């Protein structure tokens, strides 16, 4: 199965209800097609410092931010194809670069316990690992995704994420898919990914249904829950 490993695009996010999702799906039915690999459960391990420096910086909405994660499509086994990814955002443009290898090798690689094939992307990941001290898996996040791309422009994609779960224990993608919910059951995260402008048909549907873009980070929301939990422990100590 072939996946794209280098991305440069704009990403716009919308929190929508399942009813609004149905309206959008109906509107896009003849304009988009399902992504070949797009109906899947995506599992991630986010790497960070012991004090969560990367996500704390990201939440502050700086001009430039970056994160490191390990991703699989579905629950992992030792030989499952996995992706070590660096995701950067600079002035609203998202850059994503990743390398794939078996899960067990990728996990050891990001933990500094093994090497990986050479190449530009690997060099960037290795620099990232050296620049930030004591990086380790901090949060697991999974979600069910439906993905589509435009018939007229393969670079224009839309994804619908639901059942978004997180945990900060059992930080291994082979452990299973479970955790705390980030969204209510009737809510869906819509992400629009494009190298150019959003099509007029989609703009019209969003405006007609009073759907507005939002700032939403799965990892950011998980971190806020972790932070609030720690504050509660301190308050009752």
Cβ burial, residue 140 (10 Å; 0-12/13-18/19+) = buried
CA within 13 Å, CB half, 220 = 12
pLDDT of residue 231: 83
Bridge partners (DSSP) listed for residue 93? 10, 90
Kindly provide the b/e burial profile for residues 171-185, where b requires at least 16 CB atoms within 10 angstroms of the residue's own CB: bebeeebebeebbee
> Which tens digits make up the pLDDT trace of 29-79?
999 999 876 789 999 999 999 999 999 999 999 999 999 999 999 999 999
Note the pTM of the prediction, 2 decimals: 0.93
pLDDT of residue 92: 86
Percent of the chain topping pLDDT 90: 82
pLDDT of residue 53: 97
pLDDT of residue 237: 60
CATH level 2 (architecture), domain 6-236:
Alpha-Beta Barrel (3.20)
Sign, Cα dihedral of 95, 131, 56, 85: positive
pLDDT of residue 233: 75
Ranges of residues in the chain whose predicted pLDDT is under 50:
none
- Residue 16 near residue 218 (C-beta atoms within 8 A): no
pLDDT of residue 136: 97
pLDDT of residue 4: 66
């Amino acid at each position: 199965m072939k996946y794209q490993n280098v991305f440069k695009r704009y990403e716009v996010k919308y929190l929508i209800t399942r009813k609004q999702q149905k309206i959008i799906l109906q509107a896009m039915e003849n304009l988009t097609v399902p992504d070949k690999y797009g109906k899947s459960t995506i599992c991630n391990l986010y790497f960070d410092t012991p004090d969560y420096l990367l996500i704390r910086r990201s939440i502050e909405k700086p001009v430039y931010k970056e994160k490191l994660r390990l991703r699989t499509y579905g629950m992992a086994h030792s030989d499952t194809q996995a992706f070590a990814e660096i995701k950067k955002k600079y002035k609203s443009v998202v850059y994503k670069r990743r390398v794939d290898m078996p899960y067990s090798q990728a996990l050891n690689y990001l933990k500094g316990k093994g090497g990986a094939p050479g190449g530009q992307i690997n060099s960037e990941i290795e620099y990232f690992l050296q620049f930030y001290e004591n990086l380790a898996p901090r949060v697991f996040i999974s979600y069910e995704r439906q993905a589509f791309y435009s018939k007229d422009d393969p670079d224009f994609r839309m994804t619908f994420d639901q059942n978004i779960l997180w945990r900060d224990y059992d930080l291994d993608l082979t452990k299973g898919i479970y955790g705390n919910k980030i969204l209510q059951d009737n809510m869906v995260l819509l992400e629009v990914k494009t190298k150019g402008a959003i099509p007029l048909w989609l703009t019209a549907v969003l405006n007609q249904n009073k759907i507005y873009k939002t700032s939403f980070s799965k990892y950011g929301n998980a971190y806020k829950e972790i932070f609030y939990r720690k504050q509660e422990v301190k308050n009752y100590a």
